[in-house]
């Protein structure tokens, strides 16, 4: 049986390891996987609070106090990114001109209950649906098109990933390969909703284990967004939360506007306590009125996002 001193030493050691990890998330030294750690920063702070309580219990009160101050700094660093995003929601807009419902859903290429996933897509009431890992529901594409007849992407299903379905005609839409891996994971779909033009942009970024790849992909996305005029709805599987540094920098550079709240999408088992690695943003005179995330993922390893988008008159 461990003594009190041994428990105290173990907790302090764990606190030291956690402190190093949180420092890595803040200074971004270029270590593989740091993008994933940045997305988990608030979960790591929560773990640190548990360790702080244990430090107090095992008699390391002063060290617990110092560790708590450190955790407050780590929390503030991530909270600044959230605050910076949310401030952009306060930019005034004119009168509401049009609304539409939007679905963002990574269905999982190996989905074992594809019929349920496809049924949800067709009955969700979405006017526009961005589907990632589309081969997961490939046999049900005709049913989806019967409800959302305008489709962009996955003409060659064997090599596709991202697709976009819409009730509104897609005007000169395109699917682009994203460097460095040159995968067809960027959808650009201009359309007109109730007389208002808007461009829907969908993206599926690489896993966060390849941080340099993600940075290149986000750089290309930044360039793409800078070339589009008018309101934009940007969504997808970013494999990163909005409080990760690269996504926060993209938001700052392109003046992206977040939803009212961030909804957890991964891992499914964590429910609302997971990480919002799937996101919807807007730019210009578009705003997300609300978002919800699915309690049932219908066989996917991601929860879907369902949003109501408003298009407003410019001031």
Domain harbouring 198, CATH code: 3.60.10.10
- Enter the tokens of residue 235: 């969504």
- Considering the domain architecture, whether residues 63 and 9 belong to the same structural domain is answered as yes
Is residue 152 within 8 Å of 164, Cβ to Cβ? yes
Please give the pLDDT value at position 26.
82
Burial class (CB in 10 A: 0-12, 13-18, 19+), 222: middle
Domain total of the chain: 2
- Considering the domain architecture, whether residues 104 and 161 belong to the same structural domain is answered as yes
> What letters, b where the CB count within 10 A reaches 16 and e where it falls short, cover 269-302?
eeeeebbbbbbbbbbbbbbbeebebbeebbbbbb
- Considering the domain architecture, whether residues 152 and 220 belong to the same structural domain is answered as yes
Domain end position, chosen among 86, 105, 126: 86
- Considering the domain architecture, whether residues 177 and 42 belong to the same structural domain is answered as no
Phi, psi (degrees; rounded to nearest 5) at 228: -100, 130
- Considering the domain architecture, whether residues 25 and 165 belong to the same structural domain is answered as no
Is residue 306 within 8 Å of 102, Cβ to Cβ? yes
Please give the pLDDT value at position 8.
78
Which of the residues in the chain have pLDDT under 70?
29-30, 158, 209-211
- Considering the domain architecture, whether residues 203 and 171 belong to the same structural domain is answered as yes
- Considering the domain architecture, whether residues 103 and 250 belong to the same structural domain is answered as yes
Give residues with Cβ within 8 angstroms of 63, minimum separation 6. Answer: 12, 15, 55
Q: How far is CA 226 from CA 153, 219, 223, in A?
A: 22, 11, 5
Q: Give the global pTM.
A: 0.93
Is residue 125 within 8 Å of 282, Cβ to Cβ? no
- Considering the domain architecture, whether residues 152 and 271 belong to the same structural domain is answered as yes
- Considering the domain architecture, whether residues 112 and 73 belong to the same structural domain is answered as no
- Considering the domain architecture, whether residues 79 and 109 belong to the same structural domain is answered as no
Closest CA to 170 of 146, 147, 157, 153: 153
Please give the pLDDT value at position 6.
79
Please give the pLDDT value at position 30.
66
Q: What is the Cα–Cα distance from 266 to 256, expressed in whole angstroms? A: 22
Tell me the residue range of the domain where 18 lies.
4-86
Domain end position, chosen among 86, 108, 143: 86
Domain end position, chosen among 57, 86, 115: 86
- Considering the domain architecture, whether residues 150 and 277 belong to the same structural domain is answered as yes
- Considering the domain architecture, whether residues 62 and 112 belong to the same structural domain is answered as no
Phi, psi (degrees; rounded to nearest 5) at 124: -70, -25
């Amino acid at each position: 049986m461990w003594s009190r001193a041994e428990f105290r030493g173990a907790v302090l050691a764990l606190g030291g390891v956690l402190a190093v990890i949180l420092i890595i998330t803040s200074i971004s030294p270029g270590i593989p996987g740091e993008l994933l750690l940045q997305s988990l920063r608030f979960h790591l702070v929560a773990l640190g609070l548990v360790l702080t309580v244990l430090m107090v219990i095992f008699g390391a009160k002063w060290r617990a106090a110092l560790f708590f101050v450190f955790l407050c700094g780590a929390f503030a660093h991530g909270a600044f990114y959230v605050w910076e995003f949310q401030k952009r929601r306060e930019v005034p807009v004119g009168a509401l001109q049009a609304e539409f419902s939007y679905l963002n859903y990574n269905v999982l290429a190996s989905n074992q209950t594809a019929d349920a996933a496809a049924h949800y897509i067709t009955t969700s009431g979405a006017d526009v649906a961005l589907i990632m890992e589309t081969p997961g529901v490939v046999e049900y594409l005709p049913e989806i098109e019967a409800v959302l007849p305008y489709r962009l992407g996955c003409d060659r299903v064997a090599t596709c990933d991202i697709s976009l379905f819409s009730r509104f005609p897609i005007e000169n839409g395109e699917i682009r390969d994203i460097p460095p891996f040159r995968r067809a994971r960027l959808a650009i779909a201009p359309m007109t909703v109730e007389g208002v033009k808007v461009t829907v942009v969908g993206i599926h970024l690489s896993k966060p284990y390849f941080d340099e790849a993600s940075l290149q992909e986000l750089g290309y996305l930044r360039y793409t967004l800078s070339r589009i005029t008018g309101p934009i709805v940007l969504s997808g599987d970013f494999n990163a939360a909005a409080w990760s540094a690269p996504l926060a920098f993209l938001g700052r550079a392109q003046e992206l506007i977040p939803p009212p709240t961030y909804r957890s999408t991964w891992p499914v088992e964590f429910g609302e306590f997971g990480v919002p690695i799937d996101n919807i943003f807007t730019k210009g005179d578009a705003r997300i009125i609300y978002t919800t995330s699915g309690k049932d993922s219908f066989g996917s390893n991601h929860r879907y996002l369902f949003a109501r988008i408003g298009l407003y008159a410019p001031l």
